[in-house]
């Protein structure tokens, strides 16, 4: 009996050691095809750049990344979550696509207890009543940058605004955020089908309404088309134009001087002055030949957060509850391109929000910081979260 007990002890010790030294498997899910693929690709590239800089390891553990394309389809996103959890046995999930996709993935994520980090979507329900202790938002609560634009337009004294966004969860969140801080007259709140690329009819209606300001949320390819068509209608430079998602490094590369004069809200830009951001922007440009967007920055931050958390746990992420608690703790301690970051009680970000402007420089376009609209900003739904 003593020999059996001793053997069992040794076997158990070896198993524990093996568990502690196991690779860390991360599932990345995002839109990697279609008109919005640039957003998912930027997240993937930002994450993989950080993994490369960290020597392919989080802590001292080798990182395996399994990547999947959700195609911007909620049912596909839900299937990917099932695969990650049941077949790939992932230790963490990053990316998580657009808000409509994340909402379809939420139940499986919550029930699994696996660390999940959104590097794009932050829909209102998961900030409030549907908050989950293992789901963290590295990017923003959806309303955040729109709230900043609402406040900024209010500060400028513009007395009427026309609002436009795609008709899905994030679009509604964005316009809701703008209205929370803007106290002037809302001339119209117009929603267009998600994926629509021709806005000529809507722009004609906008012209007839003659507002003092226009605010839109049109990310990725939607934003490129909208800005170009706004210019073709003669409204760029004439109607004060404010946005979220429509202007970022990717869309500026396509629009160039067509975006001149656009003002947009964001939590990050390549021009933010801190050591981690300087390292990130240069490395991203060197590796991929383009300027990173905020989507890439969010995913880059997510990798450094996971590295700090795995290191804190000495490589053992087998205890999901301990891993979740450590990610929460390290949210305010890892090196971030934003300079300062923390998770709120609902796992949404506490961070600064800025107003930036796209300005013509010669034949090119540059970004100028106009204002820090909010400092250490918290979302509007944190009080509804009962975690």
CATH number at residue 360: 3.40.50.2300
For 147, the token pair is 């709230």
Residue 169's pLDDT band (cuts 50, 70, 90): confident
Bridge partners (DSSP) of residue 350 are 342
Residues 128, 151: one domain? Answer: no
Q: Which two tokens stand for residue 188?
A: 């119209």
**Residue 213's domain spans which residues?**
144-266+352-384
Asked whether residue 151 falls in the same domain as residue 220, the answer is: yes
Q: How confident is the model at residue 21, as a pLDDT?
A: 54
CB 155 within 8 A of CB 183: no
The answer to whether residue 368 scores a pLDDT higher than 60 is yes
**Pair (233, 292) in one structural domain:** no
On whether the CB atoms of residues 249 and 292 are closer than 8 A, the answer is yes
Query: Both 174 and 203 in a single domain?
Result: yes
Please tell me whether residues 202 and 288 are part of one structural domain.
Answer: no
pLDDT, position 49: 98
Whether 77 and 170 share a structural domain: no
The helix or strand, by DSSP H or E, that contains position 5, with its residue range, turns out to be: helix 2-20
Q: Which residue has the tokens 């996971």?
A: 306
Kindly report the average pLDDT of the chain as a whole number: 93
- Give yes or no: residues 123 and 164 share one domain: no
Tell me, yes or no, whether 228 and 372 share the same domain: yes
122 in the same domain as 41: yes
Mean pLDDT of the 13-24 span: 55
Q: Is 220 in contact with 247 (CB distance < 8 Å)?
A: no
Distances (CA, A) of 26 to 23, 29, 66, 258: 10, 10, 6, 39
Predicted pLDDT of residue 22 = 72
Q: What is the DSSP string of 329-347?
A: HHTTTS--TTS--EE-TTS
246, two tokens? 């429509």
Out of 91-95, 205-209, 218-222, 323-327, pick the least confident.
218-222
Q: Is 17 a residue whose pLDDT tops 70? A: no
276 within 8 A of 336, measured Cβ to Cβ: yes
pLDDT (0 to 100) of residue 180: 97
Residues 247 and 379 in one domain: yes
SS3 360: strand
Tens-place pLDDT, residues 281-339: 999 999 999 999 999 999 999 999 999 999 999 999 999 999 999 999 999 999 999 99
Is 80 exceeded by the pLDDT of residue 14? no
Is the per-residue pLDDT at 199 higher than 50?
Answer: yes
304-336 as b/e: b if 16+ CB within 10 A: bbbbbbbbbbebbbeeeeebbebbbebbeebbb
Total structural domains within the chain: 2
pTM: 0.89
pLDDT, tens digit, 9 for 90 and up, residues 52-86: 999 999 999 999 999 999 999 999 999 999 999 99
* Residues 48 and 85 grouped into a single domain: yes
Stretch among 19-33, 143-157, 249-263, 352-366 having the lowest mean pLDDT: 19-33
Average pLDDT of span 132-161: 97
Check pLDDT > 90 for residue 16: no
**Segment among 12-16, 106-110, 175-179 with least mean pLDDT:** 12-16
Q: Is the same domain home to 172 and 239?
A: yes
How many other C-beta atoms can be found within 10 angstroms of the C-beta atom of residue 170?
27
Q: Strand locations in the chain, DSSP E?
A: 24-30, 57-58, 61-69, 92-95, 115-118, 135-137, 160-166, 185-192, 213-217, 241-244, 263-266, 342-343, 349-361, 364-377
Residue 271 has a pLDDT of 95
């Amino acid at each position: 009996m003593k020999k059996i007990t001793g053997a069992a002890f040794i076997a158990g010790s070896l198993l524990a050691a093996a568990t502690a030294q196991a690779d860390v498997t991360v599932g990345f899910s995002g839109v990697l095809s279609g008109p919005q693929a640039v957003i998912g690709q930027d997240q993937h590239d930002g994450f993989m750049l950080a993994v490369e800089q960290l020597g392919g390891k989080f802590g001292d553990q080798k990182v395996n990344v399994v990547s999947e394309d959700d195609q911007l389809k909620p049912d596909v996103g839900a299937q990917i979550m099932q695969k990650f959890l049941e077949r790939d046995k992932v230790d963490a999930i990053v990316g998580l696509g657009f808000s409509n996709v994340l909402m379809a993935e939420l139940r499986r994520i919550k029930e699994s207890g696996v660390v999940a980090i959104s590097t794009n979507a932050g829909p209102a329900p998961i900030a409030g009543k549907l908050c989950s202790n293992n789901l963290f938002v590295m990017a923003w609560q959806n309303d955040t940058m729109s709230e900043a634009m609402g406040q900024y337009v209010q500060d400028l004294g513009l007395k009427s605004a026309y609002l436009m966004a795609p008709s899905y969860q994030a679009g509604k969140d964005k316009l809701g955020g703008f209205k929370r801080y803007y106290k002037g007259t809302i001339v119209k709140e117009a929603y267009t089908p998600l994926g629509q690329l021709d806005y000529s009819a809507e722009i004609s209606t906008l012209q007839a309404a003659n507002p003092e300001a226009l605010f839109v949320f049109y990310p990725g390819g939607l934003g490129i088309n909208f800005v170009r068509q706004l210019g073709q209608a003669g409204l760029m430079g004439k109607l004060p134009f404010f946005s979220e998602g429509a202007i970022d490094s990717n869309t500026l590369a396509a629009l160039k001087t067509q975006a001149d004069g656009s003002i947009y809200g964001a939590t990050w830009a390549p021009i933010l002055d801190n050591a981690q951001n300087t390292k990130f922007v240069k490395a991203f440009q060197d590796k991929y030949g383009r300027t990173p967007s905020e989507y890439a920055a969010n995913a880059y931050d997510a990798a450094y957060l996971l590295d700090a958390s795995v290191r804190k746990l000495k490589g053992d992420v087998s205890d999901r509850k301990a891993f979740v608690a450590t990610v929460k703790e390290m949210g305010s301690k890892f090196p971030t391109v934003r300079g300062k970051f923390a998770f709120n009680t609902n796992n949404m970000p506490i961070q600064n929000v800025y107003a930036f402007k796209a300005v013509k420089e010669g034949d090119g376009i540059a970004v100028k910081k106009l204002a820090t609209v909010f400092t250490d900003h918290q979302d509007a739904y944190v009080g509804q979260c009962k975690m």
